[in-house]
Amino acid sequence: KNQVEQSPQSLIILEGKNCTLQCNYTVSPFSNLRWYKQDTGRGPVSLTIMTFSENTKSNGRYTATLDADTKQSSLHITASQLSDSASYICVVVENTGFQKLVFGTGTRLLVSP
Amino acid sequence: KAGVTQTPRYLIKTRGQQVTLSCSPISGHRSVSWYQQTPGQGLQFLFEYFSETQRNKGNFPGRFSGRQFSNSRSEMNVSTLELGDSALYLCASSLASGDYNEQFFGPGTRLTVL
């Protein structure tokens, strides 16, 4: 069964600190992997999209990595800010020709002052 | 360019009623997908429309239906509402269907079924 698992489920860090969120997947055939940020009560916003051949992709203070061999991805947040408090969702897209997205359950991050 | 808009933003209904949610995609986007988000199940795919045709469908009962108009706007209908249908319904648009097309999500419609 195609699944996406994220860890930890929730995380509290102090403002200014770094953190890393993990994503493991079993989705096959693989097309691409996306990280989304979702503020409470809002729609998800895309942070990065990575294809099979990409190992690292950055978007400001967000850096995503992908190891397609071990089917693992991580999202590293540098110098966290209060506005980083949100849910971070890992999404793997199946290679079907359609928009077939498999969602992780997300990591809820709280940045504390 | 305006983002994806969804109306209404909040909705309260009672069991047995039906509801219609609306989604206007980003101008020029032809693919619209619908998702249900609940605390227990996370985000789950409902269906995708492209050029007025349903291209893909998730594992939801037939009470959930949708359609897309020639201007790419889409509606989702839920009939005979159940308490478990309470959720945030998200719509996402992309330029075209297919694996690599980035999806842009709307703010969602929060449906509460009493």
Condensed to tens digits (0 to 9), the pLDDT of residues B77-111 reads 999 999 999 999 999 999 877 767 789 999 999 99
CB contacts of B97 in chain A (<8 Å) are: 97-99
Angstrom distance (rounded) from CA A37 to CA A61: 13
CB distance A80 to A111 below 8 Å? yes
CB contacts of A106 in chain B (<8 Å) are: 42
A106–B42 C-beta distance less than 8 A:
yes
pLDDT at A97 over 90: no
pLDDT of the residue at A34: 95
Residue with tokens 């609940």: B38
pLDDT of the residue at A42: 87
A98–B55 C-beta distance less than 8 A:
yes
Nearest CA to CA, how far is B10 from chain A (Å)? 11
All residues at 6 or more sequence positions from A82 whose CB lies less than 8 Å from its CB, including other chains: A15, A111, A113
Q: What is the pLDDT of residues B33-72, one digit of tens each?
A: 999 999 888 899 999 999 999 988 888 999 999 999 999 9
Search chain A and give the residue with CA nearest B103.
Answer: A46
CB contacts of B43 in chain A (<8 Å) are: 44, 89, 103
Q: What is the pLDDT of residues B41-51, one digit of tens each?
A: 889 999 999 99
